[in-house]
Each structure stands twice: as C-alpha cells, then as structure tokens.
Structure 1
Amino acid sequence: MAVPKVAAIHDLSGLGKCSLTAAVPVLSAMGVQACPLPTAVLSNQTGFPSYACVDLSRHLDAFTREWEKRGVRFDGVYTGFLCGARQVRMVERFLDRFYLPGTLLLVDPVLGDNGKLYPVFGRTMCDSLKSLVARADVITPNLTEACILADGDYASVARAQSLEPVWELAERLAGMGPRTVIVTGVHRGDLICNAGFDARTGRRFSVGNRSVGSGRSFSGTGDLLASVLCGGLVRGETAEAALEKAARLLEAAISDAEADGTDPNEGVPFENHLDLLIGKEG
C-alpha cells in the first residue's frame, strides 16, 4: 500500500513542540509521509519572552519549483503558521500547482489566541488568510481565530454555556468555502470541546477531551490536534474518528505535563503516547 504524502507548510520552532515538530512525528506515526515546507525557523515558539526568527519567504517559490520538477503529487496539503500576507500569496501559488482533484487542503489559520491577535499580525494578514480559508476543504481555527475570521464577539462566545454560538461561527466560516469547519479548544465545563460543522450535510458535531489539572493552555496542542485530523482524513477516516484519536492523545499528554509541572511554553510530552495513533483502531 502506498504511503500517503502530505505537504506540511509550517514554521520550524526549536522549542515548544509545535508546528513541524508536532506535525512530522504525528503524521509519521499515522503512516503518512510528511514533506516539510518550512515557512520560518525559530529558536522557540513565540509564546516565550523572546525568540529569534529567520523568515524563509524568499525560498518558498524555489521549493515549489523544485518539487514541481520532481513530479511529486500530494494526498494532502496542510498549512499552519505563515509569516505574513506575502507568504499567503506564495502558498496560493503552491496550491495552483499541487492542489489537484482528490487532494485534501487543511488550513490551520494561525492568527491569535485568548481573544487577541498575535502581535506579529495585523488586519492585512487576517484579510489575506480569508482567501486561503476560502480554498480549503477543512479549517481548524481556535475560538479566537474563528471570531477574527467571522467577525464574531469573542467575549460573548467564550462565556456562553452551550456550543450553539460556536456552531453558528462554524456555519458562517463554512459559508466562506470550506466543507468542514472545526473550532478547536473551546472550554465548556470540564471539557475542552472541538465543535465541528459539515457543510455538505448541515450536520453539527463535537468531540472533546477532559480538562486536566490546572486547565492551563500548553504550546502545540492545537497543532497536535490538527495534525492528527490531517493524518486521519488522508487515510480515509471520518473527522470525528480522527478527532477522537486526537482527544485521547491530548488527554494523556496534558496529564503528563501537569504531573511533571511542565512550563506551558515547552509543550506536552506527546512522544510518550504516539502509540495511540498507530494501528487500525488507533
């Protein structure tokens, strides 16, 4: 059986267990070849007090041309952190060459968290990402990103008791083009919910994991979830089945991080639990 290939267009952070350092091992464990297209190289993820960053924008088109020469075909394209509007345009040129019938495009629209836009981004980036979202098959915004993209009121949605306003956001985002929208990391009671909407059927769904320990937000957990989802989808699993795997992985890894007193910026020890992703039943 041929191993599915996914082009993973993310940054590479030396510390923080996020982006490519999450995507590559997760996809590999799921029997998927991850083909990294790094957008930037960082000393550590940006949640630390400081970081060094090398923007690789000037190399992305060259990578695209070389891969085109190789005649490679991808079963999936999976995008994450992009350095700005210029990189969004470069990714769109990449898609013009490699996003073919039968290819999955999963966009994780990295823009912000905890109700705020990341300081490195402005409104131009938000508007540019909307064009990428419109081309996607699946998007995985967190609640902040969903509100930014759909012009939602973060404060009111975050304090709601039910998932109704989250699903409403997901439906608005689906109206932009994606066939599946999953709003990730929504806290409701003692659950961290991932609220999904399938635009083809009009069906709403939710898969969650227990909020463990202090309930702190750890670096890379959203990337882990999106990576498991991507791996599952290119292997023919349903979104819900893939999200269930992701929930089990996150519960176990966050429990370990809490028990060890890990700094949230360092991420979670998911490496100890990759076996949950291996095999027919995960």
Structure 2
Amino acid sequence: MADMPEKSVLSIQSTVVFGYVGNKSAAFPLQVLGFDVSTINSVQFSNHTGYKCFKGQVLNSDDLACLFDGLKENNISSFSHILTGYIGSKSFLEKVADIVVDLKTSNPSLLYVCDPVMGDHGKMYVPEELLPVYIEKILPIADIVTPNQFEAEKLTGVEISNVEDAIKAMQILHSKGPKTVVISSSEFATDGTIICLASTVTNGCKEVYKVQFEKVPAIFVGTGDLFAACLLAWLEKDKNLKLALEKTISTLQNVIKRTLDRARVLAGEGNAPTPAQMELQLVQSKAVIENPPLSHTAAVL
C-alpha cells in the first residue's frame, strides 16, 4: 500500500456544478480542516433539485466499481475515513457496502461516517428499496451514523416525539453496529426549536448529549452534508463528541445566518430569495469553519 496521508477521506455522494450540496458542501470544510479529500460523485447535476430545472448524469454501480478498481490498481486506495451521503440507487448503495468492507479489510482502523440521506419531513426522496440495504448492509459496517429525525424513524421503526423516543432509537441504531449515533435535527420540541441528539459508546460506557437551537425560517440545501463533514473532522481532531457537536452546530448556525442575511439583501425587501441567492456561503465562512466561535453548548443527558 502507498503511504497513507495522516487524514484522508474518500467521500461518496452527489455533486453539483453550481452551488453547494453533496461533495461540494463536504469537501471544502474537510480540506480547510486539514484532510485530503478524494471524491466520487453518485450524481453530477448542473445545480440542486430545488431550482426550476436541473440536468446531469447519474453514476451506476458499474461506474463506481470501475473508479474504485482504478484506485486499487494504482495502490492509492488507502484512506483514514470514508464518508457517504446522497445515493439514489440500490445497486450503487450495495456496491458502496462492498467498497467499505474492502477498505476496512486492508485498513481495520478506517472510520466510516454514514449520512443515510433518504428523506425529510415525512417523505422519502430516494426509492424505498434503499432502506433495507441501509439497515442490513450499511449500519453493521458504519462507525458513525448521522440521520435526521425522519431517517432515524425509518431505520429503527421508532416514532420520535420526545427525547426518550430519540434515545431509544439511538440505542437501536447502536445495536445494529455504529458506535456513535447523531440525530442531526429533530423537530418535536414544543417551542419550535430544533434539537440535535448524540450518543456514543466507548468501552461499554455511554455518553448522550443534546443541543437545542433556534429554527431559522428558511429552506437551506446542503446543510446535512456540511454537518456530516464537520462532525467527521472535529471528532477526528478532538476525539470528543461533546466538543465536536458544539463546534459543528456552531459552524452550521453561523453559515446559515450569513447565507440568509446575504440572500435577503440580494432579494430586496419583501421578496423571497431565489435558490441561487440561498446557496450556502461556504467559502466566505472559511474562518468560521477553521475556528468555530462556540455559540451552542451540548447538555449532558
């Protein structure tokens, strides 16, 4: 094997030509935080699907296998982490599972961070047939999993309407494989805030944390991808889930606020911002990503 860079991520998810979602949202923060990032794009679109139209290509499982074979044959398939996000087809997801197993066989210390992107707010935006693949093949090999509330419910069969439900769902996810489970966002709080919950098991000892933050009245795209990337980076750097959570959420809230403030100025008073005006201000947030001002604290549960 070629010498492995200290921190190197293979990131398999969607990408766009314009804007920030999928790999475009994940690669920059990881690079800024000192990781080499190699990307495989599950889909390549002109822009995200929230615009009036989008065009592009979808990779199939054979394309994925071909790219991975090229890495292996050149002895450049050694990574410290693998990160996965949006994947739209069952066969592609099954191939991802094969690749993770292959990479972990040659490097048992490899960490797999899985953002099981399937849907939100009660509806799936990938085919239902991906769900059993996530449950049966992906969760058993994932080290860290970052579903939102809807995805956690789909993966566990637990309806989450309070913190106790969320802890129960996280426990079920632990039992399927991942040592660290983070429900990135849940909206059961009666005061309209968003709650992020995290649980990790180390040597039989469990730690559970909760971060509560204000819901910003706007729709952002690419925030989940940014969340998973920042969490991966800070968990690796600090080896501390509480701190990683605080830094990740503080980063996101800062980026979201900067994005919305700019979008409102561009749209003009009384006008709704366009999808293009609402693209995440990632590059402009470089200093915040590198050194997040801690605006949110995780409570120990």
The 3 A distance-change label for structure 1 pair 240 and 49 is farther
- Identity among equivalent positions (%) equals 22
Q: Is 1:164 aligned with 2:127?
A: no
Partners of 1:271 and 1:192 in 2: how far apart? Answer: 25
Q: Which residue of 1 aligns with 2:151?
A: 145
Instruction: Describe the SS at the equivalent of 1:175.
Output: helix
Partners of 2:222 and 2:67 in 1: how far apart? Answer: 25
Instruction: State which of 246, 250, 257 in structure 1 corresponds to 2:259.
Output: 257
> Per-residue displacement from partner, 1:91-148 (whole Å, max 9, x unpaired)?
1221132122111100000100111111xx3321111122212210000001111111
> Per-residue displacement from partner, 1:44-81 (whole Å, max 9, x unpaired)?
22333432231112321111111112323100000111
Q: Which residue of 1 aligns with 2:270?
A: none
Q: Is 1:267 aligned with 2:269?
A: no
Superposition map of 1:29-178 within 5 A: 29-57=32-60, 58-72=62-76, 73-99=78-104, 100-118=107-125, 121-130=126-135, 131-153=137-159, 157=160, 160=161, 162-178=162-178
Cα distance, 1:221 vs structure 2: 0.9
Partners of 1:93 and 1:199 in 2: how far apart? Answer: 25
Instruction: Describe the SS at the equivalent of 1:37.
Output: strand
Cα distance, 1:32 vs structure 2: 0.6
Q: Which residue of 2 aligns with 1:278?
A: 290
Cα distance, 1:249 vs structure 2: 1.5
- TM-score, L = length of structure 1: 0.88
Contact kept? 1:15, 1:44, Cα under 8 Å: yes
Partners of 1:148 and 1:209 in 2: how far apart? Answer: 24
Cα distance, 1:241 vs structure 2: 1.8
Instruction: Describe the SS at the equivalent of 1:233.
Output: helix
Contact kept? 1:104, 1:234, Cα under 8 Å: no
> Cα RMSD (Å) of the superposition?
2.3
Contact kept? 2:42, 2:87, Cα under 8 Å: yes
Partners of 1:62 and 1:104 in 2: how far apart? Answer: 23
Q: Is 1:13 aligned with 2:16?
A: yes
**Equivalent residue letter for 1:217:** I
Partners of 2:138 and 2:5 in 1: how far apart? Answer: 29
Partners of 1:43 and 1:2 in 2: how far apart? Answer: 32
Contact kept? 1:7, 1:78, Cα under 8 Å: yes
The 3 A distance-change label for structure 1 pair 62 and 182 is same
Q: Which runs of 5+ in 2 are unaligned?
A: 265-272, 295-301
Partners of 1:14 and 1:208 in 2: how far apart? Answer: 33
Partners of 1:113 and 1:13 in 2: how far apart? Answer: 20
Partners of 1:15 and 1:211 in 2: how far apart? Answer: 26
Partners of 1:102 and 1:234 in 2: how far apart? Answer: 12
Contact kept? 1:221, 1:267, Cα under 8 Å: no
Instruction: Describe the SS at the equivalent of 2:41.
Output: coil
Q: Is 1:194 aligned with 2:206?
A: no
Q: Which residue of 2 aligns with 1:246?
A: 248
- TM-score, L = length of structure 2: 0.83
Contact kept? 1:39, 1:56, Cα under 8 Å: yes
Contact kept? 1:185, 1:222, Cα under 8 Å: no
The 3 A distance-change label for structure 1 pair 48 and 168 is farther
> Per-residue displacement from partner, 1:231-277 (whole Å, max 9, x unpaired)?
12333532222221221221112112322334467432132222123
Instruction: Describe the SS at the equivalent of 2:246.
Output: helix
Q: Which residue of 2 aligns with 1:233?
A: 235
Q: Which runs of 5+ in 1 are unaligned?
A: none
